[in-house]
Structure 1
Amino acid sequence: MALKKNPLNLNALQLKTLTLFQALSGLDGYALPGEEPGHTLIQRLPHAHGDHFHLGPWVISASDATGLGNDAAWKALERKGLIRSMYPMACILTPAGHAYDTGLRQAILHEAHHH
């Protein structure tokens, strides 16, 4: 039997927010290894200016990042064991949060093509 897509039944806002936390977890200046193995402290969050923002090699639509400023989305991700919230400043992405396949990476993380 195939694995269930979205086994924790995250809603669209939660999926997008988790996708952004996963992306942030790999970027210098935004994240550091957590105190516990496999955990990542996301210590800084990006802020949109206009309708998009740049994040490492990607351009993100501001409409895909509304969960970064939504306490309810953070609380839901925390309840499901994917993050530890320090809303609105920071969070710790857990190993389960790192591993969760949101299915949205290609949909919301657009490669920036600057020359």
Structure 2
Amino acid sequence: MIVKKIKLNPLQSKTLVLLKVLARDDNTSIADAAEGGRKILSLPHAHGNHMHVGEFVVSAKDASGLTNPSVWKALARKGFVKDNWPNEMVITKAGLEFSTGLEDKFMSVSDH
């Protein structure tokens, strides 16, 4: 069997991690029963040079992929999100299960 390694660029990886954080929170997502993923209800907005994503603070620059059509298209091609952004934001089961290796690298717990 041939195993295809999936590669993500840094912005795609960061965006996927942020979507996974949003998917863990019942205030920002709901189950997508048909696919086993999670539908993201809303995206956080930056204030100043950062934004709050769940319990984390993230630089606005690192979170810019959340509103970047090219990032969404790339993640959809790889099967990590449904290809219906911006009308609908769904992270698939594959997206939830994929490890980018960044899960604890660029976010810090919020102090406010």
Normalising by structure 1, report the TM-score: 0.86
For 1:47 and 1:87, the matched residues in 2 are separated by 17
Structure 1 stretches lacking a partner, 5+ long? none
CA RMSD of aligned residues (A): 1.7
Could you tell me which amino acid in structure 1 is paired with residue 21 of structure 2? A
Within 5 Å, give how 1:37-48 maps onto structure 2: 37-48=35-46
1:109 counterpart = 2:97: no
SS in 1 for 2:33: coil
Secondary structure at the counterpart of residue 105 of structure 1 = coil
CA distance in 2, matches of 1:14, 1:27: 21
Structure 2 unaligned spans of 5+: none
- Mapped pair 1:93 → 2:72: no
From 62, 75, 85, the equivalent of 1:64 is 62
Percent of aligned pairs with the same residue? 40
| Partner secondary structure for residue 73 of structure 1 | helix
Using the alignment, how far apart are the partners of 1:29 and 1:63 within structure 2? 24
Q: Please give the per-residue CA displacement for 1:37-61, whole angstroms capped at 9, x wherever unaligned.
A: 5211012111111110122211111
| Deviation (angstroms), 1:105 | 1.5
Matches for 1:5-16 after TM superposition, within 5 Å:
7-16=5-14
Superposed displacement of residue 35, structure 1:
3.0
CA deviation map 1:3-51 (0-9, x unaligned): x9xx311111110110111111011321000132521101211111111
CA distance in 1, matches of 2:103, 2:61: 15
CA distance in 2, matches of 1:69, 1:37: 23
Q: Secondary structure at the match of 1:103?
A: coil
Conservation of the 8 A alpha-carbon contact between 1:44 and 1:89: no
Tell me the alpha carbon deviations over residues 37-92 of structure 1, each in whole angstroms, 9 at most, x when there is no partner. 52110121111111101222111111110101110100000011010033235311
Name the residue aligned to 1:31.
29
